């Protein structure tokens, strides 16, 4: 059992974005891009969440209530416990000195880009961060990203903050006028696919942090398999970071949509594991 030490609602509009500080006595310190797999209850599914920060014997997780399990997780209160939590898992992003780098985060992917931004800045890179959100009210960690970046751009779908449009439009404009040594992108698959298409034209090394459906996190179940360079790879043990220009995004988009109808069905049914008071 892992206790919820602190809970903060970053975005109160539906779908909410929630920040949890969770007890985690890891034998090794997590690095950027690494994640945990947790179960909220013994009856539920296992889901991966990126480790945003580690402080003492606790880690910070940020997630959006978009499905059955994330809603169940969001119902927990301070003092409640997770049924299980394992980590750190996955291959870490090992920052080095590249020069001028662009880090792009879309939606809740901004939380996942945060440790990468910090690591790249610590290595002496000139860091340009691009944050994307549906609207101003869904934008998270702006100040934290700013404090670790040399320059920050913001785009929102509705133009309520920053530029109206998409993160990839800002990226393409930057690539047209200056040399970029590395691009790192995390967030919606369509955003990462477009990022890859743009940077390939400019021959800029690009890393994407993939988010396929994951179950066990050890490479045994095969659920998170992705095609990279024409070969099967598993995001949990070979990733989650991959060379963007080698990823078959069309295949991944199909695989990530394979349980959409089942998710809709369970969300429309009465939740058997949770009461209105948030107990399960």
> What φ, ψ does residue 156 adopt, rounded to 5°?
-130, 145
pLDDT band (50, 70, 90) for residue 260? low
Lowest mean pLDDT among 25-34, 180-189, 234-243: 25-34
57 backbone φψ class: left, alpha, beta (φ>0; ψ -120 to 50): alpha
Sheet containing strand 17-23, edge to edge, reads 81-82, 2-11, 17-23, 58-64, 47-55, 35-39, 84-89
The answer to whether residue 123 scores a pLDDT higher than 60 is: yes
Q: How far apart are CA 204 and CA 198, in angstroms?
A: 9
Q: What is the pLDDT of residues 187-206, one digit of tens each?
A: 999 999 999 999 999 999 99
How far is the CA of 78 from the CAs of 8, 71, 278, in angstroms?
Answer: 10, 15, 12
pLDDT-derived band at 271 (thresholds 50, 70, 90) equals: low
The 10s digit of each residue's pLDDT in 72-117 is 999 999 999 999 999 999 999 999 999 999 999 999 999 999 999 9
**What pTM value is reported for the model?**
0.91
Neighbour-count burial of 60, counting CB atoms closer than 10 A to its CB (0-12 exposed, 13-18 middle, 19+ buried): buried
* Average pLDDT of every residue of the chain: 91
User: Phi/psi zone of residue 194: left (φ > 0), alpha (ψ -120 to 50 degrees), beta?
Assistant: alpha
Query: Averaged over 242-261, what is the pLDDT?
Result: 85
Rounded-to-integer distance, Cα 63 and Cα 36, Å: 12
**100-256 is classed CATH 3.40.50.80:** yes
Average pLDDT score over residue span 158-178: 96
Confidence band for 215, pLDDT divided at 50, 70 and 90: confident
Distance of CA 173 to the CA centre of its chain: 24
- Under 8 Å between Cβ of 79 and 85: no
Give the CATH class of 2-89: mainly beta
Closest CA to 175 of 207, 191, 197, 192: 197
Range from 100-109, 113-122, 247-256, 258-267 carrying the lowest mean pLDDT? 258-267
| pLDDT at residue 213, as a whole number | 84
- Those residues with Cβ within 8 angstroms of residue 96's Cβ, 6 or more apart along the chain or in another chain: 123
Q: What 3-state DSSP class applies to 276?
A: coil
Locate the domains of the chain by residue range. 2-89, 100-256
What contacts 24+ positions apart, CB below 8 Å, involve 254-261? 255/212, 255/213, 255/225, 255/226, 256/189, 256/211, 256/212, 256/213, 258/213, 259/213
Alpha-carbon span 106 to 87, nearest angstrom: 24
């Amino acid at each position: 059992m892992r206790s919820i030490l602190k809970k903060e609602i970053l975005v109160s509009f539906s779908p909410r974005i929630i920040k949890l500080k969770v007890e985690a006595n890891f034998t090794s310190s997590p690095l950027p891009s690494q994640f945990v797999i947790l179960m909220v209850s013994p009856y539920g599914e296992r889901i991966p969440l990126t480790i945003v920060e580690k402080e003492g014997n606790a880690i910070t997780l940020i997630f959006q209530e978009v499905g059955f399990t994330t809603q169940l997780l969001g119902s927990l209160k301070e003092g409640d416990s997770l049924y299980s939590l394992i980590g750190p898992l996955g291959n870490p992003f090992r920052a080095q000195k590249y020069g001028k780098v662009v880090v792009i985060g879309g939606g809740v992917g901004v939380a996942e880009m945060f440790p990468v931004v910090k690591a790249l800045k610590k290595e002496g890179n000139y860091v340009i961060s691009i944050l994307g959100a549906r609207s101003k009210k869904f934008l998270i960690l702006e100040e934290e990203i700013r404090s670790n970046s040399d320059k920050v751009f913001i785009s929102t779908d509705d133009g309520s903050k920053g530029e109206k449009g998409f993160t990839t439009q800002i990226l393409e404009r930057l690539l047209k006028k200056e040399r970029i040594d590395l691009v790192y992108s995390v967030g919606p698959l369509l955003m990462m696919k477009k990022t890859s298409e743009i940077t390939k034209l400019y021959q800029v090394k690009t890393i994407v942090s993939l988010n396929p459906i994951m179950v066990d996190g050890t490479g045994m179940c095969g659920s998170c398999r992705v095609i990279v360079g024409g070969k099967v790879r598993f995001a949990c043990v070979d990733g989650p970071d991959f060379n963007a220009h080698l990823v078959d995004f069309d295949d991944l988009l199909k695989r990530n949509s394979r349980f959409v109808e089942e998710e809709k069905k369970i969300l429309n049914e009465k939740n058997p594991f949770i009461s209105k008071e948030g107990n399960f």
